[in-house]
Structure 1
Amino acid sequence: MRSLVLSAAILLVGIAQAQAQDAAAGEKVFAQCRACHQVGPTAKNAVGPHLNGLIGRKAGTVEGYNYSPANKNSGLTWDEATFAEYIKNPKAKIPGTKMIYAGLKDEKRIADLIAYLKQFDAQGQKVTQ
């Protein structure tokens, strides 16, 4: 019985580690976002707004970017859960958004993308988590 409990505990730890966020893997996921978005100290608005300081920012507030009324008036503040839901299906989360993206469905890839984006403060500097 004791070995069964120990085996179950080890399995749960392994599963938790497998679900952990991986910023390096997230950088690879972000490659598909680069067509429209930038991050880092030289990031600018492009087809989409820059994503520096995304987590904790109110939706529709990057200076100099022309957001859709739906995004500006969404009332959202980007936290990990809100962004994860949004990136799965942007048009479902914010009907009327300009973002043309079918969505990222894989939970692990979403977690990794969030880990990558969380590295960048509002000025685009990498911060340690």
Structure 2
Amino acid sequence: MSLEANKAFAAVLTAGISFMVAGLVGGILVHPHRLEKPAIDTGEVVAAAAPAAPAALEPIGPLLASADVANGQAIMGRVCAACHTWTEGGRNAVGPNLYNVLGGPHAHKEDFNYSPAMKALHDKTWDYEALNAFLNRPAGAVPGTRMAFAGLNQAKQRADVIAYIRTLSGSPQPLPQ
């Protein structure tokens, strides 16, 4: 080893020892006084109540009778078009093509790679209430879905979108009674 390397090593060692000794001397000279009670009294600790269960979703059927299909189309154009197509025979995009989804099974497109959570529901039908719950909060309706959409929280908007989705079929599903 060269003389310069020895000097650098000695400087680091000396600095480390100096800091250690300063810490020990400081600990001996300064005795912190522990308080007998906390300076700030936060009161009694109370266990937090469990969060309330989400309110039940109102049925969408009664709203469908007065739903605005044109507004539903406009909402889908703004909110859904980035990830979905909905023309007959249309391509899948980030999400599956939504043509003929109402009345069909969950994971209805054979050529789309659905999440395992959605594939597990393949035997269930997309009816009006299932679409209502999914459009309200996709992650709540199908835990584990890959759909990153937060949902539509206004029932009227969901009814309009569902009314438009109903038209995306060669034989639209009858409206619920």
TM-score tier by shorter-chain length is 0.7 to 0.9
In 2, Cα distance between the equivalents of 1:108 and 1:27?
Answer: 13
Q: Which residue matches 1:119?
A: 167
8 Å Cα contact 1:56/1:78 also seen in 2: yes
Aligned pair partner of 1:24 in 50, 70, 74: 70
Any idea what SS the aligned residue of 1:76 has? coil
Q: Which residue matches 1:59?
A: 106
Q: Which residue matches 1:104?
A: 152
**TM-score under structure 1 normalisation?**
0.77
Structure 1 stretches of at least 4 aligned residues deviating more than 6 Å after TM superposition: 16-19
> Cα gap change, 1:96/1:29 in structure 2, threshold over 3 Å: closer, same or farther?
same
What is the count of residue pairs matched by the alignment? 111
Specify the code of the residue in structure 2 equivalent to 1:30: M
* Percent identical residues: 35
The yes-or-no answer on 1:81 pairing with 2:107 is: no
**TM-score under structure 2 normalisation?**
0.57
Q: CA deviation at 1:61?
A: 2.5
Relative CO higher for 1 or 2, CA cutoff 8 Å, sep ≥ 6? 1
Cα deviation 1:46-86 (Å, max 9, x = unaligned):
00000001111110120210001100102431011110011
Q: CA deviation at 1:43?
A: 1.8
Any idea what SS the aligned residue of 1:115 has? helix
> Cα gap change, 1:27/1:86 in structure 2, threshold over 3 Å: closer, same or farther?
same
Q: Give unmatched runs, 5+ long, in structure 1.
A: 1-15
In 1, Cα distance between the equivalents of 2:129 and 2:167?
Answer: 17
Q: CA deviation at 1:19?
A: 6.7
Q: Give unmatched runs, 5+ long, in structure 2.
A: 1-61
User: Whose radius of gyration is greater, 1 or 2?
Assistant: 2
In 2, Cα distance between the equivalents of 1:106 and 1:90?
Answer: 14
RMSD: 2.3
